[in-house]
A and B are shown apart, each in its own frame.
Chain A
Amino acid sequence: MPDLLIELFSEEIPARMQTRAAEDLKSRITNGLVEAGLTYAGAAAFSTPRRLTLAVEGLLAQSPTLREERKGPRVDAPEKAIDGFLRGAGLTREQLEERDEKKGRVFYAVIEKPGRPAADIVAQVLEETIRGFPWPKSMRWGDGALRWVRPLHRILCTLTTEAGTAVVPLSLDGITASDVTEGHRFMAPAPFSVTSFEDYAAKLKRANVVLSAGERGETIWNDATNLAFASGLDVVEDKGLLAEVAGLVEWPVVLMGDIGAAFLDLPPEVLQTSMREHQKFFSVKNPGTGRIEKFVTVANRETADNGATILAGNQKVLSARLSDAKFFWENDLRVAKSAAGLTAWTDQLANVTFHNKLGSQKDRIERIAVLARALAPMVGADADRAEQAARVAKADLSSQMVYEFPELQGLMGRYYSAAAGLPADVAAACQEHYSPLGPSDDVPTAAVSIAVALADKLDTLTGFWAIDEKPTGSKDPYALRRAALGVIRLILKNALRVPLTKIFAENFWSADLMSFFHDRLKVYLKDEGIRHDVIDACLAMPGNDDLTLLVARARALSDTLKTEDGTNLVQGFKRANNILTQAEEKDGVEYSYGADPQYAEDPAETALFAALDTAEARIRPALADEGFAAAMQAMAALRPEVDAFFEAVQVNAESEILRRNRLNLLSRIRTVCLQVADLTRLDG
C-alpha cells in the first residue's frame, strides 16, 4: 500500500487563503483518486506561506480491474446487427462468448478494463487539480499560461512503498515533479530531497519550517501568553489575527515590545485597531488597569541578536503609526470640546453624499432625527433625548480618526460625545445605533439606543425602497436584508410594539416592504425551528405588522403543533372546515347563526357543546391579554370531544334541522379555532 506525498511550493500565498486551499487540495485529489478507483486509508493537508502539502496514506497500488458483460444479439441475428454490436464493444467475433438462453443462443461480450498503476492516476489527478484549482483569485507569470495564486516553483510528488520512494512522473508547463523541496527562505534555503511524509516533516522542521498551521498558531499563542505573563500582563485574544499571523510565518518567533508612554492614553480600541490592522500586532493588556501597555509581534526568523533589530524596527513603525493616531485623537477632541461641538462635524456631512437619489449624510441625519423622535414613545425613550442622540450619532464620520479607521465608527462617536459633555445615553447611542449588525451580534437594550438604531435602519429601508433599489437574488449592495433583520431583532429582543405599516405610510409606503420584512422574519424564525406554514397562518391574522404580536402567535402555534393534541386538533379542525365549506358552497349560505344544544341527539354532540363553552370561556380572557399559548392550549383541549363527535355523529343527517344545527356547530369549532391563527394555511 503506497503512501502519497504532494507539495506545491510557490511564492507567498495570501494568509487568508491558505487553510481553504489545503482543504481544497485534499478534497480534489482524494475525490479524483477515488473516482479513478484508488481508495486510501487516510489523508491530511497542511499549509505554510509558501507551500500546500497533502499526505495520503495506504493508497491502492493500482486501480482494480473492471469487468463488464454486455448481452448481444442472437447468434442467428442478421450480420448487420452483429457487426454493430462488435463495433460498440470494440471486439472481434472470435472474442465473443455464446450462451444458451431461453430464447436461443445469444452472443455475450466480456470486456475487461485492466487497472491502472497509482502513479498514472496520481499524475493525471494532480495535473487536473492544479489546472482547475479554485483559488479566489489567481494569476499568470512570466510567459507561461499556467495559473496559480502566485508563481508556482516546485511540485513534489512521490509514492513510497516498502521498496522505496519513487517520483510520480509529471511535467506541467515546464515544472517537473521531483522529491525535492526547500526550507525556510532565509534560515535554511538549500533544497533537499525527501523519502516519506515523516522524513519530509522532520527535515522541514530541521530547515526551520513548521508544517502545521495549527502548530504554528499554538506556538505563537503559548509563547505570547508566556511572555506577557512574565510581565504580569495578558494578551488580548484575537483568533482571526492568530490565524492570519500563523499564515505569515514558517518559523514563528514571538517578540514583545513597549508602546511608547506618549500613546498609552489613547483609547484602548484605537491602539488595538491600529496595531492589528496596520502591523498585525497582538495587544497586551494590564489586567489591573485594563490599559494596553505592550504589543506582541511575530517574526519569521531567529537572529543572532535575538530579534533586537527586528523589535526595534517594529517599535519605530508603531510609533509613527500611533503618532498619526494621537494627532487625529487630539484634533478630534479639540473639535468635540469646542463651542460648536459635534455640530461642526454634522454640518460637514452636508457635503458627503449618502446616495445620489437620497441626498447627503446630513439629509439622512435629519430624517433619522424625526423618525427617532416619533419612535421614542414606542420604545420607552424620551423624545428629546432620542432626537438629540440621532443628531450626533453619525457626527464621527467627519472625524479624522474614523476617516483613518472606518471600523471605529460609532465607538469614536461615543468617546467624542462624552468629551463634548453629552448625556451618557446619547453617547452610548452613538456606538450602539449601528447594532445589531449580524445575526449573532448583541442587540441594544437601552431605550435611546433602540430608538436611534430603529430609525437608522428604517430610514435606510424606506429610502432604498422609495428609489426602487431593492435586493435581488444574491445582490444586496446596501445590506438591506441585514437592516431588516436588525429591525426584527431589535423589536423581538425588546418586545417592542411598533406598528410598521404606520411608520412606512408616514415615510414611504409600499406593501412590498412589509412583505420583505415578513420574508426576513420567516428566515429568522426558521432558525428557531418555526415552520414557514406556521408563520403564514399567523400572517393571515390582523395586526401582522406588529412583529412582537405576530411572533407571539407563531410561537404559541408552533409549540401547540409539537403536541399530539395540537396536531390532532388541527386535523379535526380541517375536517370540520372541509365539511362546512362544502355545505356552504352547495347550499349558498353561511352557517353562522349559532347551534342550539337542544337539537343535540348524541351524547358526543352534547359533550362537544359543553367543551366549546368551556374553551370559549378560557380563550376569551386569554386573547384579551394576548395569551396565545393559553388560548392554543384551550383549543387543543377540545380534541377528544371533536374526535368523539366525528366518530359518533353523521353531520349530513337526514333531518334537515339536525343537519343545519350540526353545520352551525362545526361553524362554532371553526370560529373558535381561527382566533390565534388561520389554521387552514397549515400544511398537511
Chain B
Amino acid sequence: MDQSTGTGAGKPRSFQEIILRLQNYWAAKGCAVLQPYDMEVGAGTFHPATTLRSLGTQPWAAAYVQPSRRPTDGRYGENPNRLQHYYQYQVLIKPSPPDLQALYLGSLAAIGIDMALHDVRFVEDDWESPTLGAWGLGWEVWCDGMEVSQFTYFQQVGGHDCHPVSGELTYGLERLAMYVLGVDHVMDMPFNDPQSPIALTYGDIFRQTEEEYSRWNFDVADTETLLRHFEDAERACADILDRDADDPRTGKRIVMAHPAYDQCIKASHLFNLLDARGVISVTERQAYIGRVRTLAKRCADAFVTTTAGGWAA
C-alpha cells in the first residue's frame, strides 16, 4: 500500500480493506483518524466529533467509522441491503477546504473506483436533521446511478449558524463496498480477505445479530422502560446543563457540554427504538423530535461557551 496517498494497488478485496484504505487516505490528507463514539447513534453525524465540533470557530479535521443503528430498518438479515446496524464513514473538515470535491473524488479512486470508467455526479440533496436542529446544502454523490455518499456544507447546527462552515462527507460503507466488490447481498460480502486462513463474510459476523436485534427492536423491547429512559435522559441532560459553570471542587470553569450531549444522544436513540416498536403516533412523533431538538440546541449553546467551542475567557 502506498502510504503517502492511502491508495492500494488495484481493487480492494474485502469490506475491511475499503475501510482501511479510507482511513489511510484521509490520514494522508491530514485528518485526525478517530474511533467510533461509544454510544448508540443513528448516524455518524451524531458523534460529538461532528455535531459539537462543527460549532464555534476552532479549525477541525476528523475522519472515523461510526457504527449506526436504525431500528426500523431491521429485516432479520434477509434483505440484500437493509440493516438495523451498519457502518458509516464520516469526514468533517472545518473550515471546508476549497478542494473538498477533489479530495472526495480522490477517496473514491483510493478505494478502487476508476474515474475514467465510471460516471460520478453531484445531485442536489439538501440535508436536514430535525432532531439536531441542523441543516446544510450539498449533494448526494452518484456513481453510475447509485448513491455512494452524502456531501454537505453545514449551515446551521443546534440552531447556531456555522462560522466557519464545515464540510461533511458521509459514506454508507456497506452499500459502497458492495458496489466496489461486486456483491449482490450484503451478507455475502467478504469482511476480511477471502484468501485468509479463516475467511469471514459480513453474514458470518452480522447475520445472527441482525436477526436478534430485529426481533428485539420490533417485538420485545419494553416500551415502558424505553419511555422511562427517554424521560430520564431528557431530565439528566437538562440537569447537567443547569449546573453553574464554576466547579466547586476544582475552582475551574467547567461547562459539561459533552456529558449533557451524551444524554441527548441517548434520548434520540430511545426515540428511534420507540418508533420501531410502533408506539409513537404521527402527531406524537413531531413532539418527540421537538424534545430531542431542544436538548441538542441546549448542548450546542453550552458547547460554544467551552474552549473547544471557541470560547475565550
Which chain A residues have a beta carbon within 8 Å of chain B's beta carbons? 11-12, 14-16, 49, 137, 139-144, 149-151, 153, 186, 248-249, 279, 281, 297, 299-301, 303-305, 309-310, 312-314, 316-318, 320, 323, 351-353, 356
Kindly report which residue of chain A lies nearest to residue B98, judged by CB atoms.
A142
Kindly report which residue of chain A lies nearest to residue B175, judged by CB atoms.
A320
A319 nearest CB across to chain B (Å): 9
Judge if B46 is at the interface, Cβ distance under 8 Å.
no
Contacts of B123 in A (CB 8 A): 12, 15, 248
Contacts of B163 in A (CB 8 A): 140, 143
Contacts of A137 in B (CB 8 A): 126, 137
Which one of A141, A248, A301, A353 contacts B281 once the chains associate, using CB atoms below 8 Å? Answer: A353
Besides A12-B121, A310-B144, A353-B281, 5 other A-B contacts (C-beta < 8 A): A139-B155, A140-B162, A143-B95, A297-B145, A312-B144
Residue among B122, B144, B163 facing the most chain A CB atoms (10 A cut-off):
B144
The answer on a CB contact under 8 Å between B119 and A351 is no
Q: Can you report 18 A-B residue pairs in the complex whose CB atoms are below 8 A from each other?
A: A11-B101, A12-B123, A16-B124, A141-B167, A142-B97, A143-B95, A143-B164, A150-B138, A150-B153, A248-B121, A248-B123, A297-B145, A303-B117, A303-B118, A310-B119, A317-B144, A351-B281, A356-B283
Where chain A touches its partner, the secondary structure class is loop
Contacts of B138 in A (CB 8 A): 150
Kindly report which residue of chain A lies nearest to residue B167, judged by CB atoms.
A141
Kindly report which residue of chain A lies nearest to residue B146, judged by CB atoms.
A317
Judge if B81 is at the interface, Cβ distance under 8 Å.
yes
A317/B117 contact (C-beta < 8 A), A142-B98, A153-B98 known: no
A interface footprint on B126-143 (CB within 8 Å = 1, 0 otherwise)? 100000000011110001
Judge if B312 is at the interface, Cβ distance under 8 Å.
no
Judge if B33 is at the interface, Cβ distance under 8 Å.
no
Q: Report how far A137 CA is from B153 CA in the complex, Å.
A: 13
A300/B137 contact (C-beta < 8 A), A151-B98, A318-B145 known: no
Q: Report how far A356 CA is from B286 CA in the complex, Å.
A: 13
Q: Report how far A485 CA is from B139 CA in the complex, Å.
A: 38
The answer on a CB contact under 8 Å between B101 and A304 is no
Q: Report how far A413 CA is from B122 CA in the complex, Å.
A: 36
Judge if B120 is at the interface, Cβ distance under 8 Å.
yes
Q: Report how far A139 CA is from B95 CA in the complex, Å.
A: 14
The answer on a CB contact under 8 Å between A309 and B115 is no
A141/B165 contact (C-beta < 8 A), A310-B144, A352-B282 known: yes
The answer on a CB contact under 8 Å between A299 and B119 is yes
A12/B122 contact (C-beta < 8 A), A139-B155, A314-B145 known: yes
Q: Report how far A281 CA is from B81 CA in the complex, Å.
A: 22
Q: Report how far A323 CA is from B282 CA in the complex, Å.
A: 28
Q: Report how far A149 CA is from B96 CA in the complex, Å.
A: 15
Judge if B116 is at the interface, Cβ distance under 8 Å.
yes
The answer on a CB contact under 8 Å between A313 and B143 is yes
Contacts of A16 in B (CB 8 A): 124
Q: Report how far A299 CA is from B143 CA in the complex, Å.
A: 10
Residue among A144, A318, A352 facing the most chain B CB atoms (10 A cut-off):
A144
Contacts of B143 in A (CB 8 A): 313
A139/B165 contact (C-beta < 8 A), A14-B124, A320-B81 known: yes
Judge if B259 is at the interface, Cβ distance under 8 Å.
no
Contacts of A353 in B (CB 8 A): 281-283
Judge if B311 is at the interface, Cβ distance under 8 Å.
no
Kindly report which residue of chain B lies nearest to residue A15, judged by CB atoms.
B124
Shortest 4 CB-CB distances between A and B: which pairs?
A: A313-B144, A14-B124, A143-B164, A12-B122
Q: Report how far A186 CA is from B137 CA in the complex, Å.
A: 23
